[in-house]
Amino acid sequence: MRTSGRTLQSRIVWTTTIASALAMAAMIGTVLLSLAAFTTTNIDRRLRDQVSAVSTTVRVAPDGTVTALETPNDAIDDTTWVYDRDGDLVEGPHVGPKVSAVADSLARVGTRTRVEKDERVYLAAPVEAAGQRQAVVVVKASREPYESTRNAVLIGLLALGVTVTAGSAAVAAWAVRRTLAPVESMVSRAEDWSEHDLDARFDATGTKDELAHLGRTLNVLLDRVAGALRTEQRLTAELAHELRTPLTAIRGEAELARMARLSPEADARLERVMALVDRMGTTIASLLAIARGDARAVARTTSTDLLAAVTDEGPRRDGVDIVLDHARIEVPAPLDLAARALSPLVENAVEHARSQVTIAVTATGRSLEIAVTDDGPGVGADDPQLLFESGRRGIGSAGAGLGLALARRVARSLGGDVGVTSAAQPTTFTLTLPRY
């Protein structure tokens, strides 16, 4: 039985329910088999006693005439047949032809014979004198009273089985829920800490059970994670800070150079240098915001302003149109960080598109999705997730392979993500941001 996708609680409850149901089914089967064996034994004993009682009342005259004395129990007579040595009926009850036919078929037996037919059991035994068969006694018993008892017992056992199985499932669900409640509490607290407080830890309970051991282990893990994050944030902040000074100087030199009389080609190159410096400055600002934990600032923007910031200042290619499909939706993120997460997706789409890039903004529940689609040849990587590794570049790309990696990093710092939702025909990268 496949249980993938189910919670631990549901798996335990289902396992308990199935085990209880199988145990009750085995018990019911055992009881019914025992009851059937008891019924058969009881009927056979009753028939043997009845044959013995009737045989003592049979009298055979010297001329072979058979007579049966009155039995003290009339019920015996109602289920008893007496035949002479030739198989002729001497005495018998007034019953239906089917029952009489079965009794008549046993009128000439030479040994004790047992027959079952139509929920009735027949037992025939010869009455012998001087070693010769002188008469035959046939008796019958009905199974119907026993069947009624068996049906009543079966209904009772089924009701008991359902009650026990349901009770076991309910007890298992209650026990598992009570047992896993501390784990669920730890999970919710850990999620809250990951958002607001990396220094929080689980309280020491002083016990030695599994949950206390889990709490201690998670505390150690949280210490290591917090230490790694602080180290990364400090390194990122230091690198970003060290890069801002030379970038400022480069931009200043480019501006001074443009004041001189330059050829249009040289001026265009310096303008491109300044644009690249501004772009690098934006990247550094994003890294600093992530390092300081300011990615989820109170500042908000709208989808209209975000798309305008990305498309107005973004790259263009002759023959490639950018189509916007969106409504004005509030984005709970600073404009510069949201644009930094979206810009690499648009740049890649423009670079690889044949004729059109479509940017669609949709609100789905608690999330905002911005899908960037192009009609290019598609993602060449076997695993699209490899595109988000730092330094991973496409064939013929002039970039450093940091755009998509940084876009995902910024998006995740905002509580969202960036992923490939369609690798080809068309190619779609989607930026997801929380709405609340």
pLDDT in tens, 104-139: 999 999 899 999 988 899 999 999 877 788 899 999
> Residues near 273 by Cβ (< 8 Å), separated by ≥ 6?
250, 254
What is the Cα–Cα distance from 73 to 53, expressed in whole angstroms?
10
pLDDT at 298: 52
Helices 335-352 and 303-313: angle between axes, nearest 10 degrees = 50
What is the Cα–Cα distance from 42 to 27, expressed in whole angstroms?
22
Taking alpha carbons only, the member of 435, 311, 429 closest to residue 376 is: 429
The pTM of the full predicted model, rounded to 2 decimals, is 0.48
pLDDT at 140: 92
Architecture of domain 210-290: Orthogonal Bundle (1.10)
Eight-class DSSP state of 425 = S
Helices (H), 90-209: 97-105, 144-196
Taking alpha carbons only, the member of 388, 220, 194 closest to residue 293 is: 194
pLDDT at 75: 43
Q: Which long-range contacts (CB under 8 A, 24 or more apart) does 396-400 make?
A: 397/351
The string of DSSP letters for 40-82 reads HHHHHHHHHHHHHHHHTTEEE-TT--EEEPPPS-HHHHTTEEE
pLDDT at 391: 53
pLDDT at 33: 92
CA distances, 58 to each of 51, 93, 112 (Å): 11, 16, 16
pLDDT at 18: 92
CB 416 within 8 A of CB 426: no
pLDDT at 326: 76
Taking alpha carbons only, the member of 347, 335, 348 closest to residue 303 is: 335
Neighbours of 32 (CB within 10 A): 14
| 297-434: CATH superfamily | Histidine kinase-like ATPase, C-terminal domain (3.30.565.10)
pLDDT at 2: 46
pLDDT at 1: 44
- Per run of 10 residues, the mean pLDDT along the chain (length 436 residues) is 64 90 93 91 91 86 74 60 88 87 90 90 88 88 86 91 92 87 78 68 72 80 78 74 80 84 84 80 69 59 87 80 85 82 89 90 87 86 73 52 80 87 87 85
Quick: pLDDT tens for 167-226: 999 999 898 888 878 777 777 777 777 666 667 777 776 667 777 787 788 878 878 877
- Boundaries of every domain in the chain: 8-147, 210-290, 297-434
Q: Which long-range contacts (CB under 8 A, 24 or more apart) does 70-73 make?
A: none
pLDDT at 205: 66
Radius of gyration of the chain (CA): 46
Tokens of 100: 């009489």
Query: Does the structural domain 8-147 have CATH classification 3.40.1840.10?
Result: yes
